[in-house]
Chain A
């Protein structure tokens, strides 16, 4: 792909990026109440427990919301236009933002099954999705 903004790495999200580096899309699981949630916090949003684990998601999901961006908002994404910005609902439940790549943007629709893929972005591997 053609570059783009570099995400922040923090002590809280480091294990997520360690996962993508080895081809895993990791989500968090609460050992206390069983909630599965998106990688953003070190406590459970349902019960506030700190007894959490990391789990490798299947990487399968579907498009929950999507737009085709035609006007580049800033320089670092200019070469990517037109690109698909989407919310992806993972098979395990959590919803995450992504692009849908490796296909004609006009083909992408809400409900479309997608599969995770990874794109080098700076020193990171950024999760992306392509049609399944």
Chain B
């Protein structure tokens, strides 16, 4: 069942370090490269969705769509700089689909670039105040890996996942990265569960290799009508299903949703709208800021029964050749985490696989792809199902 909307093209800068490029200039470079690559002219694009840039370097620009739209000579019928953290990119596709159905636009550039620069100590405390409650959490020394570690600890206690199960997710991500020349860890060789468990402890249960790799980068997709998509490409990635939900704003206010996240709802909504079931899915992109989150998502989204995600990943199911390939570009764990643009890499990879454009890393079976992005420490969620057939 199609929503009448499709991804017609994608573009991505392989993750790297661009110390001399400002956040906005990175946006400009990715935008013009994408639009030229797709063979479009300014009059072809009538929508622009972006995320705020500069979050990683402390110069947040919440008006990206205004500057970038003007620089590209666009007069869009829909344009917005939207922010739901890592969930922003699946949400962008959802917003674009709604706008197209409402007749506001029919050719929407969805774009994100990010710089995930290691902050100074002072900058890290400023960041900690931003991502935690500045009154009732900051006093306890929170930072992103430790906050995710709280979620992971509860998941492990309730569902029985082990440190080796978490490590196995990072091992799988590296296996995929070895197949993908664009992954930042492509040339770093394989890793074992033992390698992960013996890397230095950051915040239990997370070792160094349980954490994603910070870098700079970005990408874009073009969302348009089914008809226009077919004129632009032989094989569009049709948007078959979408779900979105937002539940809390801090871990202290998460309650039971700390690990029983609203991903369950967004997944159910996306499947219902697509008229598909879990068994119909041939690959999945599951936001993996840390090794534990794909396990939580596999269970919350219904790909595994509660408590079975550890055995699932240990069986090789999410690896190359497995029954449900997951994070086939190497994931944030080994492809790279491009800061505020991180979620875009999930959308781009799923679109490429479905469109048959994944190159060296192309799967034999990728007729349907499930994408799940979340923001905050799993506070807000969006699920997207892409497919080759309407």
Interface residues of A (CB under 8 A from B): 4-10, 13, 38-40, 64-71, 73-77, 80, 83, 85-87, 95-99, 110-111, 121, 126
B369 nearest CB across to chain A (Å): 32
For residue A100, which residue of chain B has the nearest CB?
B140
For residue B202, which residue of chain A has the nearest CB?
A71
- Contact A85–B203 (Cβ < 8 Å): yes
- Contact A98–B140 (Cβ < 8 Å): yes
Binds A, one of B45-53, B125-133, B182-190, B217-225: B125-133
A112 nearest CB across to chain B (Å): 11
A54 nearest CB across to chain B (Å): 15
For residue B157, which residue of chain A has the nearest CB?
A110
Chain A residue numbers with a CB within 8 Å of B129 are 5
Task: A40 to B252: give the CA distance in the assembly, Å.
Answer: 10
B139 nearest CB across to chain A (Å): 5
B residues contacting the other copy or chain, number (CB 8 A): 41
Task: A97 to B142: give the CA distance in the assembly, Å.
Answer: 9
Is B137 part of the binding interface, using a Cβ–Cβ cutoff of 8 Å? yes
Task: A126 to B141: give the CA distance in the assembly, Å.
Answer: 12
Is B357 part of the binding interface, using a Cβ–Cβ cutoff of 8 Å? no
Instruction: Evaluate whether A67 and B139 lie within 8 angstroms (CB atoms) in the complex, with A7-B134, A8-B134 already known.
Output: no
- Contact B203–A70 (Cβ < 8 Å): yes
- Contact A85–B121 (Cβ < 8 Å): no
Chain B residue numbers with a CB within 8 Å of A69 are 141, 143, 146, 149, 202-203
Q: Known A-B contacts: A65-B153, A74-B122, A74-B143. Give 18 more (CB < 8 A).
A: A8-B134, A8-B135, A40-B253, A65-B151, A67-B149, A67-B150, A68-B204, A69-B149, A69-B203, A70-B204, A73-B141, A73-B145, A83-B141, A85-B142, A85-B146, A97-B137, A97-B251, A98-B140
- Contact B141–A5 (Cβ < 8 Å): yes
- Contact A38–B253 (Cβ < 8 Å): yes
What secondary structure prevails in chain A residues at the interface with B? mixed
Is B154 part of the binding interface, using a Cβ–Cβ cutoff of 8 Å? yes
Task: A24 to B316: give the CA distance in the assembly, Å.
Answer: 52
Interface residues of B in 138-195 (CB under 8 A from A): 138-143, 145-147, 149-154, 157
21 residue pairs bridging A and B, Cβ less than 8 Å apart: A4-B139, A5-B125, A7-B136, A7-B139, A10-B135, A40-B253, A65-B153, A65-B157, A65-B251, A67-B149, A69-B149, A70-B202, A71-B200, A74-B125, A75-B125, A85-B141, A85-B147, A96-B136, A98-B140, A121-B139, A126-B139
Partner of A67, one of B121, B128, B132, B203: B203
Which residue among A13, A73, A126 has the maximum number of chain B CB atoms within 10 Å of its CB?
A73
- Contact B150–A66 (Cβ < 8 Å): yes
Chain B residue numbers with a CB within 8 Å of A99 are 140-141
- Contact A74–B128 (Cβ < 8 Å): yes
Chain A residue numbers with a CB within 8 Å of B122 are 74-75
Is B321 part of the binding interface, using a Cβ–Cβ cutoff of 8 Å? no
For residue A109, which residue of chain B has the nearest CB?
B157
- Contact B135–A38 (Cβ < 8 Å): no
Chain B residue numbers with a CB within 8 Å of A6 are 139
For residue B148, which residue of chain A has the nearest CB?
A67
Chain A residue numbers with a CB within 8 Å of B206 are 67
- Contact B203–A110 (Cβ < 8 Å): no
For residue B155, which residue of chain A has the nearest CB?
A65
Instruction: Evaluate whether A38 and B252 lie within 8 angstroms (CB atoms) in the complex, with A69-B141, A96-B136 already known.
Output: yes
Task: A65 to B155: give the CA distance in the assembly, Å.
Answer: 9
- Contact B135–A13 (Cβ < 8 Å): yes
Task: A76 to B206: give the CA distance in the assembly, Å.
Answer: 22
Chain A residue numbers with a CB within 8 Å of B39 are none
Chain A residue numbers with a CB within 8 Å of B136 are 7, 13, 38-40, 96-97
Is B283 part of the binding interface, using a Cβ–Cβ cutoff of 8 Å? no
Chain A residue numbers with a CB within 8 Å of B141 are 4-5, 69, 73, 76-77, 80, 83, 85, 99
- Contact A75–B121 (Cβ < 8 Å): yes
For residue A41, which residue of chain B has the nearest CB?
B253
Task: A86 to B23: give the CA distance in the assembly, Å.
Answer: 35
Is B5 part of the binding interface, using a Cβ–Cβ cutoff of 8 Å? no
For the complex of A and B, the 3 pairs showing the least CB-CB separation, nearest first, are A73-B143, A67-B149, A77-B141
Task: A56 to B129: give the CA distance in the assembly, Å.
Answer: 27
Chain B residue numbers with a CB within 8 Å of A66 are 150, 153
A85 nearest CB across to chain B (Å): 5
